[in-house]
Amino acid sequence: MAEPRRPANLRVVINEIVRRLNEDARRIRDMELRMDRLDSTLSTMEETLIGQLNDLKIDLGKVGSKLDSLIERLNQLENEIVRINKELSKAATKAELKNIETYVEILNPITSKFVTREELERILEERIKRKV
């Protein structure tokens, strides 16, 4: 009687081993699938990152070019400001213009009263006669 039990126990053990092997094989397949998905995701991320880095390099090149252009324009503006300042230093100041305006007003025949030589001589003669 002991011998018929052994094959039953042996079958139970073999069935348990087969079940465990099947379970392990299923787990390994699941792990392989996860690894494939992770590998695919990682590859996609790498491609995206490489593309973004290339775009960033292009954008940085454009920014560099624009900065060079701005630096050149700033240099031109500085040179123009220096030139304008030189020109302004040659221009008359407000005080000088006010002086010139005063002289013009004094010498303006429309607003000033000038006398002719004959008129002056006549006025002087009249004054001399009055004093005498």
Q: How many domains does the chain have?
A: 1
Least confident of 33-42, 61-70, 83-92: 83-92
Residue 106: domain span: 93-132
Residue 40 lies in a domain: no
The pLDDT tens digits for 64-88 are 999 999 999 999 999 999 999 998 8
Whether 56 is in a domain gets the answer no
Which pTM value belongs to this model?
0.46
Whether 115 is covered by a domain: the verdict is yes
Three-state SS annotation for 90-131: HCCCHHHHHHHHHHHHHHCCCCCCCCCHHHHHHHHHHHHHHH
How far is CA 89 from its chain centroid?
A: 34
- Residue 4 domain flag: no
How far apart are alpha carbons 129 and 75 in whole angstroms?
Answer: 78
Confidence class of residue 6 from pLDDT cuts 50, 70 and 90? low
Does 8 fall in a domain? no
pLDDT at 62 over 80: yes
CA-angle at 35, arms to 33 and 39, nearest 5°: 120
- Mean pLDDT is highest, among 95-104, 105-114, 119-128, for 119-128
Q: Are 80 and 74 a contacting pair, CB within 8 Å?
A: no
Q: What is the pLDDT of residue 2?
A: 46
pLDDT number for residue 1: 44
Is 16 a member of any domain? no
CA atoms within 13 A on the CB side of 82: 6
User: How far from the centroid of its chain's Cα atoms is residue 30's Cα?
Assistant: 52
The number of angstroms, rounded, from the C-alpha of 114 to the middle of its chain's C-alpha atoms is 67
